Structure 1
C-alpha cells in the first residue's frame, strides 16, 4: 500500500510505500537528503538535492549521477540497462523526469563477496535554481544477508518507483535556495 509523503518539510510530495520508515527517526540524515527505509528488506529510497551538473544533455547528467553513486559505493562494476524520459502531465511546474535503471556490484561492510544492487534513479532538473533533484531506489538483489529482494518482488519495487516518480511534485521551489 502507498500513501502521499511530505518530503523536505512539505516542499516536495510523492507517493511512497506507506510502511517505509523515515531514516531521520533512526539516525542523522543530511539536510539535503530524505531517506526512506523498508522495514522488510534492504530497499532504500534516497531523495537528494544536488548542485546541477554541467553536462551537454540530460542523458549525460543522469549517467553522471549514476557513476557518482557507483564511486561513492565503491562499486567494482556498474552497468546502465536503460534510460527513459517521463513527462510531467499534471500541469504543475515540477520538471519532467529522466529515469535510469542499472546494476552495481558492491561489497558491503568490507566483505569480499559482492552484492548485486539494482538501482532505479530519477533526475528532475530544476534549471532556474541550478539544482538536480535525484531520486534513487537501492534494491539489493543478491545479498549476504536476509535483506535481499527476491526476483519475484522486483516488479513491486518497480511499481513503487514508477508511482513515486510520476507523483513527485515540487510544492515549494523556495527549497532550492
Structure 2
C-alpha cells in the first residue's frame, strides 16, 4: 500500500499513513486537539488525540483506562482487551515509546439490534513532562450491518497500516503541548 508522511497539528507531529486516506476536517469540523482521518472504502477511522494525562502511573493501566473511556464514549455493549505491549523507541529522538493495546468492542450504531464488532488498535505516547497523553486510535469495524466492515482480511491490511503509523509517529515540536 502506498503511504506518505503527514504533518499533524501544523507540523508538530509527523506520521506515515496510507496516501489514500481522507482528512475528516475537509468534511466536517474537528476539535483542535484532534486529527481525524477516514478510509475512503470502509468505516475505518484514525484519530490522533492530544489529551490531558490520565492518573495511573502504570502505562499499561493508563492504556486500559483510555480503552475503557473509548468503550464508554462508543456506548459499547462489551469490550475486551486482547493484548498490551510497549514498543521501545530506538530511533534516537525524544518521542515517548508507545504502549500499544489491541481490543474489541461490540457497538450498536443507529439503534440497530445487532452490534458491530469493532477492533480497536490504540497507541499511547505518554509525554510526562508536559502532562499529556498522545493517543493514536484506529477504529476498525470487522463485522457490521452496513457496508463499512473490512472483515478479517481487511483487518490484517489495516493492522499493517497501524503498525507503520506507530513506528513512524514522531513528535517534532513539544511546544505543541505547552
User: What TM-score comes out, normalization by structure 1 length?
Assistant: 0.98
In structure 1, the residue matched to 2:84 is 83
Structure 1 runs of 4+ aligned residues shifted over 6 Å read none
In structure 2, the residue matched to 1:104 is 105
Structure 2 spans left out of the alignment, 5+ residues = none
CA distance in 2: counterparts of 1:2 and 1:108, whole angstroms: 30
CA distance in 1: counterparts of 2:145 and 2:93, whole angstroms: 43
CA distance in 2: counterparts of 1:72 and 1:160, whole angstroms: 24
Q: In terms of mean alpha carbon deviation, does 103-112 or 164-173 score higher?
A: 103-112
The CA deviation string for residues 103-133 of structure 1, in whole angstroms up to 9 with x for no partner, is: 0000112222200000000000000000000
Q: Check if 1:94 corresponds to 2:130.
A: no
Matches within 5 A, 1:1-177: 1-177=2-178
CA distance in 1: counterparts of 2:12 and 2:18, whole angstroms: 19
Structure 1 spans left out of the alignment, 5+ residues = none
CA distance in 1: counterparts of 2:78 and 2:114, whole angstroms: 13
Q: In terms of mean alpha carbon deviation, does 51-60 or 122-131 score higher?
A: 51-60
Q: In terms of mean alpha carbon deviation, does 15-24 or 152-161 score higher?
A: 152-161
* Structure 1 residue 152 displacement after superposition: 1.1
**RMSD between superposed Cα atoms in Å:** 0.7
Please state whether the residue corresponding to 2:164 is helix, strand or coil: helix
Aligned residues: 177
